[in-house]
Amino acid sequence: MSLLTLGARSPETAALMARAVKGRSLWDDARRRLLRNRAAVASMIILGLMVLGAIVGPFLTPYAYDEINKNDVWLAPLTGQHLIGSDSLGRDLLARLFTGLGVSLAIGAVATTVSLVIGVTWGAVAGYFGGVVDEVMMRVVDVLYSLPYIFFVIILMVTFGSNFILLFIALGAVQWLTMARIVRGQTLSLKQKEFIEAARAVGLSRLEIIRRHIVPNLLGPVVVYVTLTIPGVILAESFLSFLGLGVQPPMASLGTLIANGAQDMELAPWLLILPSITMVVTLMCFNFIGDGLRDAIDPQDR
């Protein structure tokens, strides 16, 4: 119909005008800036491949991650049936690497979600309600901030046994502090905006305003911090697994693979080097994406 009303104008101009009217949203701008950041784009591609490998990989390898092959002990990469070698029990390193990467990424995702939920709720409530509520809630954050959290995770793992779900929750529960601070700061400035005042004038309840208006507008900084929390969680999990307190054998995570590799590094250096490279590349990808997102969403920060 629009073509008719536009009369004699050619379809090209009409399309052009339609595009001009549509304008560019904040997120369009951000996406454009992000896609121009070569390190971030490369990281996203690599990470995408890694996620794909972690999901599909275990089905493609001829061996299961915990399959013990007595005749294939300590095979070097490219020598036998095992593409990138095998470990002291003859388990296929490729299968273990896919599984370990998957476990590490899954823990990163789940624990970050836990930290996201706690951190955003805590920060938004503290920032929006203000006053005594804010004072008390932020004091709690201050107190927890100055604790050596990894020690508490270690105690948790020791007292309750190395349980998968507990590991997710424990790691997430200690990572929400920075998120809460960021969200609170943002909420404080959002609170002054006119559209919040309008929502209040319309008669929305305070919790409703937080849920419907504050939280969606926090998205930018929260997304950035999430991409920086995931590597933190992966690192913490691997750290625990390296100490023997995280993921338990025969299950693998990048941390347990590196720990096992370090034990046999003189005989079979590939068992240490390949998981280490995987770990470092994963962490770097997340960091580059996080930096890229920050520059894209909040350019004046630079």
Partner 1 sequence: MLSFLLRRLVVAIPTLFVVVTAAFFMMRAAPGNPFSTDRKLPPEIEKNIEAKYGFDKPLVVQYADYVGGVLHGDLGPSLKYRDKSVLQIIQENYRVSLTIGLSAFIISIFAGVSLGVIAALRQNGPLDYMTMGVAILGVCIPTFVTAPLLQLVLGSQLGWLPIASWNGGSLPNLVMPVAVLALPQIAIVSRLTRAGMIEALHSNYVRTARAKGLPEFQIVTRHALRAAILPLVSYLGPAFAGLMTGSLVVERIFGLPGLGKFFVNSALQRDYTVVMGMVIFFATLIIVLNLLADVLYAALDPRVRLA
Q: How far apart are CA 133 and CA 131, in angstroms?
A: 6
Contact flag: residue 301 with partner 1 (CB under 8 A) = no
* Residues 137-166 interacting with partner 1 (rule: CB under 8 A): 139, 142-144, 146-148, 150-152, 154-160
Contact flag: residue 117 with partner 1 (CB under 8 A) = no
Contact flag: residue 239 with partner 1 (CB under 8 A) = yes
Among 48, 262, 298, 299, binds partner 1 (CB under 8 A): 262
Residue where the block lists tokens 């995280």: 246
Contact flag: residue 280 with partner 1 (CB under 8 A) = yes
Phi and psi of 86, rounded to 5°?
A: -140, 165
Among 14, 83, 188, 273, binds partner 1 (CB under 8 A): 273
The answer to whether 183 touches 119, Cβ cutoff 8 Å, is yes
3-state secondary structure of 295: helix
Taking CB under 8 A as the binding criterion, the range among 61-69, 73-81, 166-174, 231-239 that sits at the site for partner 1 is: 231-239
Type and span of the H or E element at 256 = helix 254-263
Q: CB within 8 A of 88, min separation 6: which ones? A: 73, 74, 260, 264, 268
Count interface residues toward partner 1 (CB under 8 A): 41
Instruction: Output the DSSP codes for 52-63.
Output: HHHHHHHHHSSS
Q: Cis omega (within 30 of 0) on the bond before 250?
A: yes
Closer of 207 and 280 to partner 1 (Cβ): 280
Contact flag: residue 265 with partner 1 (CB under 8 A) = yes
Among 222, 224, 245, 247, binds partner 1 (CB under 8 A): 245
Contact flag: residue 258 with partner 1 (CB under 8 A) = yes
> What tokens were used for 50?
């890694």
Q: How far apart are CA 97 and CA 90, in angstroms?
A: 14
Among 105, 279, 293, 297, binds partner 1 (CB under 8 A): 279
Residues that bind partner 1 (CB under 8 A): 139, 142-144, 146-148, 150-152, 154-160, 231, 235, 238-239, 242-245, 255, 258-259, 261-262, 265-266, 269, 272-273, 276, 279-280, 283-284, 287
